[in-house]
């Protein structure tokens, strides 16, 4: 009898997520966690990590310190950070399960400006990969996982593909990943999605305003950046020239994570909703585009970084972070089994 042949590509599965009956639409799913959810209580101990180019990023640490233990590196979305509720919710769940959590605040993501003109973007994986390496140097026996949401999902998936079999992490999760950036940028110029874009552009303008003199000295047309009405105009005026891209289209083409999915060599879960208002369905990859260790879990509903279900009491339950925590617990189990009982799939 012949041995089974390993699959040459990844797989796509149907999610078990069921939305709260009051929140079946994509905008309700997207907005409620941001507007109405109380911030999950997590105490981060902040480390400033110096970078080789003279800049810095900050890392928010929580959970118990244990040599050779499990560390989850969490990467926020656009204009997110330590206060992002989805990040704090997962940090609390993982901390309860015995993980050490390291929330990476991407360069320029804080209210305090970073030291150089450029800030983070969808394709900027160097700082994440450097941090992974620093973790490995500090504790060679540490068992590292990575999680990213939205922009952070793109960064994590791109970094995993770039590193391939050399990735110093055991597993990764990406939520609401924008597989192809240009179609997403166009989607955000139309309909109700313009509301999300306006909010994000406002926050990006504030970031630029805090670095006005530094940017002007670097030759950036700050006025054009502050006049940008959408992501394409913003990326043409700011992201592309500061990071060596010809224009926004070149930036989107070179930084979209879809082209890196086939090179991922570690177990990776991607959770996306088909009704995500930041995206179009045509960007979803096929199973043939996924490396064998990659699973794309698709839900009909859930919005963008939403996935709000009904709790046992009929209230709101944040299914996405529960799903991520349970998958990580299964994929990177604790050496002792005591922590596993704290999470349910």
The reply to whether 304 belongs to the active site is yes
CA 211, 214, 217, 220 torsion-angle sign? negative
Nearest CA to 197 among 233, 224, 223? 233
Residue pair 118/216 in contact by the 8 Å Cβ criterion: no
The Cβ-side half-sphere exposure at 7, using a 13 Å CA radius, reads 14
Two structure tokens written together for 88: 């704090």
Exactly one of 119, 150, 176, 299 is catalytic; name it: 150
Catalytic residue among 15, 176, 276, 299: 276
Strands 308-310 and 316-318: antiparallel
Q: Please count the other Cβ atoms lying within 10 Å of the Cβ belonging to residue 54.
A: 9
Q: How far apart are the first and last CA of the chain?
A: 35
Buried/exposed 56-70: b ≥16 CB within 10 Å, e otherwise: bbbbbbbbeeeeebb
Q: Assess whether 299 carries a catalytic annotation.
A: no
Write the burial class of residue 301 (CB in 10 Å: 0-12 exposed, 13-18 middle, 19+ buried): buried
Q: How many beta carbons lie within 10 A of that of residue 308, not counting itself?
A: 26
DSSP-derived 3-state class of residue 104: strand
Q: Which residues are catalytic?
A: 150, 276, 304
């Amino acid at each position: 009898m012949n041995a089974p042949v390993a699959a040459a590509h990844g797989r796509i599965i149907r999610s078990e997520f069921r939305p709260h009956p009051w929140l079946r639409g994509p905008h309700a799913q997207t907005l409620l966690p941001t507007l109405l959810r109380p911030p999950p209580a997590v105490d981060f101990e902040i480390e400033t990590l110096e970078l080789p180019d003279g800049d810095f990023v900050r890392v928010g640490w929580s959970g118990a310190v244990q040599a050779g233990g499990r560390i989850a590196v969490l990467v926020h979305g656009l204009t997110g950070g330590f206060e992002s509720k989805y990040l704090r919710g997962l940090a609390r769940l993982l901390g309860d399960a015995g993980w050490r959590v390291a929330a990476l605040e991407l360069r320029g993501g804080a209210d305090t400006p970073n030291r150089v003109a450029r800030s983070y973007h969808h394709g900027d994986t160097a700082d994440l990969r450097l941090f992974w390496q620093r973790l490995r140097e500090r504790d060679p026996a540490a068992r590292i996982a990575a999680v990213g949401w939205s922009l952070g999902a793109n960064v994590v998936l791109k970094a995993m593909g770039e590193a391939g079999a050399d990735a110093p992490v055991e597993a990764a999760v990406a939520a609401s990943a924008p597989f192809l950036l240009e179609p997403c940028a166009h989607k955000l110029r139309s309909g109700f999605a313009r509301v999300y874009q306006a909010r994000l552009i406002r926050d990006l303008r504030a970031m630029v305003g805090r670095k006005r003199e530094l940017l002007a000295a670097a030759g950036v047309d700050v006025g054009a950046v502050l006049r940008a009405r959408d992501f394409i105009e913003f990326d043409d005026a700011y992201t592309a020239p500061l990071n060596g891209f010809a224009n926004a289209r070149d930036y989107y083409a070179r930084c979209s994570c879809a082209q890196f999915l086939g090179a991922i060599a570690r177990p990776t879960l991607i959770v996306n909703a088909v009704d995500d208002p930041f995206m179009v369905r045509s960007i979803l990859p096929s199973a043939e585009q996924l490396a064998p260790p990659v699973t794309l879990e698709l839900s009909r509903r859930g919005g963008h970084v939403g996935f709000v279900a009904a709790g046992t009491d009929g209230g709101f339950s944040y299914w996405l972070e529960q799903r991520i925590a349970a998958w990580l617990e299964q994929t990177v189990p604790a050496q002792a089994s005591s922590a596993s009982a704290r999470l349910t799939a």
